[in-house]
Amino acid sequence: MDMLANLALGFATATSTEHLIYCFVGALLGTLIGILPGVGPTATIAMLLPITFTLPPTASLIMLAGIYYGAQYGGSTTAILINLPGEASSAVTAIDGYQMARQGRAGPALAIAAIGSFVAGTVATLLVAAFAPILTLVAIEFGPAEYFSLIAVGLVCSIALAHGSVLRALAMVVLGLLLSVIGTDVYSGLPRLNFGMIELSDGINVIAVAVGIFGVAEILRNLGGTTTRSSEINKIGKLMPTRDDLRQSVAPILRGTAIGSILGILPGGGALLSSFASYALEKRLAKHPERFGHGAVEAVAGPEAANNAGAQTSFIPMLTLGIPSNPVMALMLGAMLIQGIAPGPSVITQRPELFWGLIASMWIGNLMLLVLNLPLIGIWIRLLKVPYEALFPAIIIFSAIGTYAINGSAFDLYQIALFGLLGYMLYRLKCEPAPLLLGFVLGPLLEENLRRAMMMSRGNPVIFIDRPISLGLLLAAAALLVISVLPMMVRRRKEIFVED
C-alpha cells in the first residue's frame, strides 16, 4: 500500500503541467544530443547545470534525467543509419544496426532499438521504485565509518571500470581528491591550498570543472580530430519489424534489461559497460554467432535494452546513498547540492515529492521518447547536416553565459578555460576524466566521514575494521583493486573498451 501511495504521489508530481514540460524538454534535448555525434550527455548536462540554479529542484532534476536517458535513445539513430554512434554506449549498436541498414532494414532496426529501450526503461523504473526505498532504510543505519568505506568502494570501482590504464585512472582519482580540498577547512575555518586567491575561498566551482573537462575539452577534441560525418544516410523504409524480428528480440531485450539493471547500480558501470556485456552474452548464446557483425537483430535489441536499463538504475545509489555511479550521476548530485538538497537517505523522507516525482517522470519520459524517436526520425536525420563549426561555438558561448550568471564572477570563466585545457591534455595523454570528476565530487564526503569517524574513535583508525559493514566494504575495495591489475583482467578491459 505504501508503494502505491508513493507512486501516486510521484505521478501526481510528474504529471503537473510544469514538470511535463521539463520532462519533454529533457527528453527532446537528450534525443538531440544523442543524435549529434561529438557532444554526449555528460558534456550537455555539465553545460546545462547553470540553468538548473534558476529552476525548482524537482523540475531541474526531471529535465536533467530526461537528457541522460534520452541520449541513450538518440545515440542509436546515427549508429544505425550512418555507422557513427551519437553516444558512446551506442557503439555496439552500430556493429549490426548499420549492417541491417545497408541491407535495407534500417526501419526495423530503429523500431527494435526503440522498443527495447522502452521495455528496459519501464522495467528499470519499476526496479528503482522497488529497491530505492529498501536501500534508503539500510543507508539510514550507516555511520561515518560505513560511509567512508562505501565511498572508497565507489572510487575503486571507478578505477577498475575506467578506460585505459588502471594506474592512470588511479592518478585521476587522486587528482580529483586533491582538487576537492582546495578552499576553506570546514572544521577549523582556515584556508587550504588557495594560493592566496580570495576567489578560491569556497573551493573550485564544480560547474566549472564539469563544463571545462567534459564540455570544452570534448569540443576541442572533436575540432582537433579527423572524424567526419558520412554524407550517405541509409534509407529507412518501413518501420514495422517482422514477426520473426520480434521473436528473436524478446529474449535479448529481457537479458539486456537484467544486465543493465545490475551493472547500472555499480559505480563506474552504467550504460556503456552494460551494452558491451549484453553484446558479448548474446553472441555467446547465439546458435549462429557468425551472424553477429552482419546484421543480427539480437545484437541491436540486447545492447539497446541494456544501455537504457543501466542509465536508469544508476539513479539508485545516487538517490539513496548520495554516491554517484558515473560522471552523469556526479553532475546530478552537483545539481542537488546547487539546489541546497543534501543527497542521501534523507531525500526520500524529507523530499518525497522530489524522489517519487523523479521516478515517475522516468516512465513518462520513456513514453515520450518512444513517440519522439520513430515518427520524427526524418527531422533528426536533417540535424546531422548541422556543421561542427556552427554548433560548437554556440555551445561554448551558451555554457559561458550560464556559468557566469550563477555567481557573476569572471573567475569562473577562467576556471572553465583552465579545466577545458586540462581535459584536452588528459585526452591526449589517454587519461579518462571520469574518475577525476568522481574523485572531485566525492572528495568532500570522503573527508567529512573520515574526520567524523576519527573524532568518534578519538583518533583510533581501528573503527574502520571494528564495524563489520565497514570492514566488508574495505575488503571488497581492496579485492577489486587487486583483481583489476591482474593480467587476465587487463586484457579483458582492453577487449571491452576496444572502440576507443
**Residue 269 confidence (pLDDT) above 70:** no
CA distance 467 to 462: 9
**Residue 489 confidence (pLDDT) above 80:** no
Helices (H), 211-345: 217-224, 243-265, 270-285, 298-313, 315-321, 327-338
Structure confidence at residue 326 (pLDDT): 73
Residue recorded with cell 579483458 = 492
Q: At what angle do helices 217-224 and 388-407 cross, to 10 degrees?
A: 160
**Of 37-46, 285-294, 395-404, 428-437, where does mean pLDDT reach its minimum?**
37-46
CA distance 221 to 388: 12
pTM of the predicted model as reported, rounded to 2 decimal places: 0.71
* Integer angstrom CA distances of residue 309 from 61, 68, 220, 434, 470: 18, 12, 31, 20, 29
The CA angle 306-219-236, to the nearest 5 degrees, is 50
Task: Tell me the per-residue pLDDT of 130-162, one tens digit each, with 9 for 90 and over.
Answer: 877 777 777 777 788 888 888 888 788 777 666
**Residue 500 confidence (pLDDT) above 50:** no
CA distance 113 to 104: 16
**Residue 442 confidence (pLDDT) above 60:** yes
Distance from CA of residue 234 to its chain's centroid?
30
**Of 40-44, 248-252, 337-341, 476-480, where does mean pLDDT reach its minimum?**
40-44
Structure confidence at residue 499 (pLDDT): 42
**Residue 496 confidence (pLDDT) above 60:** no
Q: Minimal CA–CA distance to 335: which of 48, 3, 76?
A: 48
Q: Is 128 exposed, middle or buried (0-12, 13-18, 19+ CB in 10 A)?
A: buried
Task: Tell me the per-residue pLDDT of 357-414, one tens digit each, with 9 for 90 and over.
Answer: 888 898 898 888 877 776 776 676 666 666 666 767 777 776 777 677 666 778 888 8
CA distance 452 to 467: 15
As a whole-number percent, the residues of the chain with pLDDT over 90 amount to: 4
- pLDDT band with cut points at 50, 70 and 90 for residue 225: low
Structure confidence at residue 20 (pLDDT): 92
User: Could you give the 3-state DSSP secondary structure of residue 386?
Assistant: coil
Structure confidence at residue 411 (pLDDT): 87
Task: Tell me the per-residue pLDDT of 79-121, one tens digit each, with 9 for 90 and over.
Answer: 777 666 656 667 678 788 888 888 888 888 888 888 888 888 8
**Which three cell numbers mark 490?**
587487463
**Residue 297 confidence (pLDDT) above 80:** yes
Please state the rounded mean pLDDT for residues 468-493. Answer: 74
Range of the domain at 424: 2-497
CA distance 210 to 309: 24
**Residue 250 confidence (pLDDT) above 80:** yes
User: Could you give the 3-state DSSP secondary structure of residue 498?
Assistant: coil
Number of domains in the chain: 1
CA distance 475 to 388: 47
Q: Minimal CA–CA distance to 113: which of 298, 243, 375, 272?
A: 298
User: Could you give the 3-state DSSP secondary structure of residue 234?
Assistant: coil
| CA dihedral for 71, 74, 78, 80, sign (positive or negative) | positive
Q: At what angle do helices 434-456 and 166-180 cross, to 10 degrees?
A: 60
Structure confidence at residue 344 (pLDDT): 74
More confident residue, 278 or 239: 278
Q: Minimal CA–CA distance to 85: which of 238, 296, 230, 292?
A: 230
More confident residue, 360 or 485: 360
